[in-house]
A and B are shown apart, each in its own frame.
Chain A
Amino acid sequence: MLLQLNHIYKWVKQGGKRVFLLNDISLQVEEGEFISIMGPSGSGKSTLLNVIGMLDEFQEGEYNFLNESVHTLKEKHRSKLYKEYIGFVFQAYHLIDELTVYENIETPLLYKNIKSSERKALVADMLDRFNIVGKKDLFPSQLSGGQQQLVGIARALIAKPKLILADEPTGNLNSKQGEEIMQLFKELNQEGVTIIQATHSEANAEYGNRIIHLLDGSKTKA
């Protein structure tokens, strides 16, 4: 088992009242799964991904990740955990504008204190695999949306995470580019990477082997 959420509640106070962003979410994810989280805009998909990615906090419930109880961990330990095992892919790519393609992909390795020669080899492999060797010295602004997202995925994969969290990875792409990205996820999944993606496209959700429906922060039966 990779991770487990037990009765997670997350809320914000508005005018003294609790507004629930996540309402009693329980979820168990095994290694090798490909899960799609579906729901309309504002239903809490991103919030849930962020909680799983340990970027966001929750008020109630338990969260275990690889047998560590995340909710009791200190910030430092927690960031070590996600640095090690989790990769993020964003809808808006979130590449660093000041860095080249190569450097963007390399960045997570820097933070893991990996030696320069090893870094070179790893990044080169990744560029090769995604067929973007020719673009390695370009800056994000010089790439198309699809290419940027490829770099985003490459960057998420470079540190060899167990889990990839993708928040509407194809949201800003046209359908052809979107399909390519989904195909890529499928391949990655087949290689053993666990993937959780948020999407509101039925077609994309189908790539996953399990679909979770969200509405107003609660899981619903589809």
Chain B
Amino acid sequence: MLKNYFKIAWRNLKKDKSLFFLNSSGLAIGIASCLMISLYVWDELSYEQSFDNADRLARVVLRGNVNGEELKEAMVAAPVAKSFKADFSQVKNATRLSMVYNPQVQYKNTSYEELKAAYVDPNFFELFHLNFLKGNPKTALENINSIVLSASEAKKYFGTENPIGKRIQFQDIEEALEVTAVLEDLPQNTHLQFDVFIPMQHNTRSTSNSWVTSGFATYLELQPETDLAQLEAQIPALLEKYIGDQVKQAIGISYEEFQQNNKLGLFLQPLTDIHLYSDFSPNTELSPTGDIKYVYIFSAIALFMLLIACVNFMNLATATATKRSREVGIRKVLGSAKKQLITQFLTESILTTTFATLLAIGIMALLLPAFNTLAGKELALLDFISVQNILLLIVFILGISLFAGAYPAFVLSGFKPLAAITSKVSRSGRTTSLRSGMVIFQFVISASLILATIVVYNQMQFIQHKKLGYEKGQVIVLRDAYKMGSERVNAYKEELLQNPGIASISRSAFVPAGETDNHLRGIFKNNTYLRKFFFYDVDEQYIPTLGLELIEGRNFSTELKNESDKVILNEQAAKILGLGENPIGATFERAADAENERLTVIGIIKDFHFKSLHSEIDPLVLAYNPYGGLIVKTKNADVAGILDFAEEKWATFNPEQAFIYSFLEDSFEETYRKEEKMGVILSIFTMLTIFVACLGLFGLITFATEQRFKEIGIRKVLGASVTEIVALLAKDFIKLVAIAFLIAFPIGYYLMQKWLQDFAYRVDLELGQFVLAACITLFIAMATISFKSIKAALQNPTQSLKTE
């Protein structure tokens, strides 16, 4: 009997090839998108799961609000780990990690850069159970002159030789470090992306007792069944105990007073939340984080794609039911029970779904590389082949078959045999209105997605064309130039200035986009702590090179000596300091190691976006302290030539180091890469969704024209024009699409409003965007409908009349 079901199902599918094609290709696209996104979501959710004790690890983070300044940091002060372990019985173990900035190592006269290295406490591997290929995790970092490498890093230095016992020279560490252990490369789905681990003692700040400075990613291993919230509640008392004195010393008020006006505290974050639920300032994170919002967005898209494809299936199956009604009738007369017919139809839907799924897996295999580039992932289909997943896929296929096939199966099998045989099965009101409902549903989703795509596109355009307050064009950043040493940088700069194509050069490690130094310093006014301000250490060429606008006072000058206690403020800083009408000459103090420094304002610059448009403009102080690499503004000249020139000169000053440059404009765009990618992904899936929805619409209109074949013929004989007939056929569907707008746009408005909230600077939602979305949707629907209906309308009427 089962075999029979399959045989018949197969023949039926073969018979109506175009229907089968519409059904299975729509489903395949839906399933492929859904599976692909599932892989992505799966990967995003898998972060840190490779640590067997992940559920007992937590990170200590800092949140606070100090005089209006939001603090969100994923790194905390050096003594936190020690104190937490000592004071809290729930904390079984605590460890720290801090990054090594610009590490360099040497082995046998070869030097290596660009490695990912971290200082870690010796007990680090007791918390993070990494896979040791060689060496002992307990003792690996016991000795101060030890080093632990990942397998691929070890291979880089030693090839096939045994790395254990080899010594390599680490920059800024006098004695060579001995390799004591080799780790399996860390998985991609952890925020710990390091290849080299060295003992924490080498970080001189690691023994500091200061609770005010920061810089240590701090992790706790908790006793089983520790309640995080309960532990968190005990933190304030601990803070008061340890930092009360330090606060008083640093800012002159008691901890209690300080907490009255400010909120500052340490909190615990489960390790597994790090990737998706972090909102800490990026420079305190060890690696870029994901965002649960995008996981939701993409999951929703995946689900909708699948739903739309299933709806197609249902729609087409019920619409074409009349074609099958005779068969149903005969079978019933021959003794088929309703149950048997349902099984028959479900078998067809299982076959279609299975075929579609296989097709989908093929599509995925083809498109996964492109998707990976887009999503910044390294997903591989092969990694997902397991007995469990294959079973899951089978359940998935059955689920889809049931979901898509159940309704048509029940409708079809419910036909009364006599009526079915004589084809008196009317287009019953119930199925027609349900079908209309489903078309509306599909176009609600399509129209919403089109709207979303338009809004995202507008926002990206807005960012690109936003007046930033600085000129990002024709600016080359040679950030690494600092490595050649201060004197040589200056000489190199003089050489470059000989090139007539170069307008100006500034020496500074601070740039408004891309990799930059970042200094936040405490500000005092009249000896009272105010808050932290951003400080940019610059030279006198900084303002012209970046095209900043000086609105009051003067720029720094090389002629004048003693510029080091002079500063230029942005408008925001002047406002917060309350400098009023005459800011020039005003003074304030900056926190320093011994005594606070007094600074004098010599100029005010217009606010410019020195951070991304996600955030409001913060107060900024430009101080005269030239260091770091070079920022080169070129004239409207041959940029390639200038780069060649700069590289050539670079080689004469600094042959050991590679010439690395970046365009400020590129770095700027990089800042919005996440949104841009999201825009691209969104538009791709929007197109796919619309395509699938149109497949369904195409199927329905095909069926409708077939059904009205004779009517069309008669109308033509009676003198109807082609347009009138197309209008006749299109009318019903266009009405549905219009209703879809009414539902889609309020939803779209709400969701896009939420998305835009992420940007401090953003476009407004306008009527125009909705009109455009409506037009595009209507146009696509109309095109789909016309394609078929025009053909029907052009048919020779005698032909259609002859068929009866």
Contact = CB atoms under 8 A, between A and B. Distances in A.
Interface of A: 50, 53, 55-56, 79, 82-83, 88, 90, 94-99, 107-108, 110-113, 155, 159
- With most chain A CB atoms within 10 A of its CB, the pick from B4, B12, B15, B334 is B334
Interface centre among B1, B15, B418 (most CB of A within 10 A): B418
Contact of A96 (B1, B327, B337, B418): B327
A97 B335 CA distance: 18
B334 A111 contact: yes
Contacts of A83: 335
A159 B335 contact: yes
B418 A107 contact: no
23 contacts: A55-B418, A56-B418, A79-B335, A94-B330, A94-B333, A94-B421, A95-B330, A96-B327, A96-B331, A97-B327, A98-B8, A98-B11, A98-B12, A98-B15, A107-B331, A107-B334, A107-B336, A108-B334, A108-B335, A111-B331, A111-B336, A113-B1, A155-B334
B340 interface: yes
A108 B11 CA distance: 19
Interface of B: 1, 4, 8, 11-12, 15, 326-327, 329-337, 340, 417-418, 421
A59 B334 CA distance: 25
Contacts, number: 48
Nearest to B324: A98
Contacts of B334: 88, 107-108, 111, 155
A98 B327 contact: yes
A54 to B, nearest CB: 10
Contact of A111 (B12, B326, B335): B335
* A interface secondary structure, majority: loop
A63 to B, nearest CB: 16
Given A94-B326, A96-B327, A98-B12, A79 B418 contact: no
A110 B4 contact: yes
Contact of B337 (A79, A90, A107, A108): A79
Nearest to B421: A94
B418 A112 contact: no
B525 to A, nearest CB: 89
Given A83-B335, A96-B331, A99-B8, A111 B418 contact: no
Nearest to A47: B418
Contacts of B8: 98-99
A55 B161 CA distance: 87
A112 B335 contact: yes
Given A95-B330, A111-B334, 7 more contacts: A55-B417, A94-B421, A97-B327, A98-B11, A98-B327, A99-B11, A111-B331
A111 B340 contact: yes
Contacts of B336: 107, 111
A55 B1 CA distance: 25
A113 B343 CA distance: 14
Contacts of A107: 331, 334, 336
A185 to B, nearest CB: 19
A88 B11 contact: no
A203 to B, nearest CB: 27
A220 to B, nearest CB: 25
Nearest to A112: B335
A172 to B, nearest CB: 15
Contacts of B335: 79, 82-83, 108, 111-112, 159
Contacts of A111: 331, 334-337, 340
Contacts of A98: 8, 11-12, 15, 327
Contacts of A50: 418
B400 to A, nearest CB: 24
B252 to A, nearest CB: 90
A70 B509 CA distance: 96
B335 to A, nearest CB: 4
Which 10 pairs of residues, A with B, have the shortest CB-CB distance? A83-B335, A111-B335, A108-B334, A98-B11, A55-B418, A111-B336, A94-B330, A107-B334, A108-B335, A96-B327
A112 B11 CA distance: 23
A120 to B, nearest CB: 13
A153 B478 CA distance: 92
A83 B418 CA distance: 15
Contacts of A110: 1, 4
Contacts of B12: 98
A88 B418 contact: no
Contacts of B1: 110, 113
Contacts of A90: 421
A97 B12 CA distance: 10
A155 B335 CA distance: 12
Given A94-B421, A98-B12, A98-B15, A55 B327 contact: no
B333 A88 contact: yes
Contacts of B340: 111
A110 B340 CA distance: 10
A85 B315 CA distance: 38
A55 B333 contact: yes
B730 to A, nearest CB: 32
Nearest to A108: B334
A95 B417 CA distance: 14
B425 to A, nearest CB: 15
Nearest to A50: B418
A56 to B, nearest CB: 6
Nearest to B5: A110
Contacts of B4: 110
Contacts of A112: 335
B343 to A, nearest CB: 11
Contacts of A53: 333
Nearest to A159: B335
Contacts of A96: 327, 330-331
Contacts of A79: 332, 335, 337
A80 B8 CA distance: 24
A53 B11 CA distance: 30
B19 to A, nearest CB: 14
B413 to A, nearest CB: 13
Contacts of B333: 53, 55, 88, 94
Contacts of A99: 8, 11
A149 to B, nearest CB: 14
A55 B4 CA distance: 26
B17 to A, nearest CB: 13
Contacts of B417: 55
Contacts of A82: 335
A24 B128 CA distance: 91
B650 to A, nearest CB: 77
Nearest to A55: B418
Q: Name the residue among B8, B11, B333 with the largest chain A CB count within 10 angstroms.
A: B333
A53 B333 CA distance: 9
A165 to B, nearest CB: 10
Contacts of A108: 334-335
Nearest to B334: A108
A112 B1 CA distance: 11
B45 to A, nearest CB: 46
A50 B424 CA distance: 15
A97 B11 CA distance: 10
Nearest to A88: B333
A83 B4 CA distance: 19
Contacts of B332: 79
Q: Which of B8, B12, B15 has the most CB of A within 10 A?
A: B8
Contacts of B418: 50, 55-56
Nearest to A93: B330
A155 B332 CA distance: 14
Contacts of A95: 330
A79 B334 CA distance: 10
A76 B15 CA distance: 32
Contacts of A97: 327
A32 to B, nearest CB: 23
Nearest to B332: A79
Nearest to B341: A111
B586 to A, nearest CB: 92
A112 B326 CA distance: 21
A111 B330 CA distance: 12
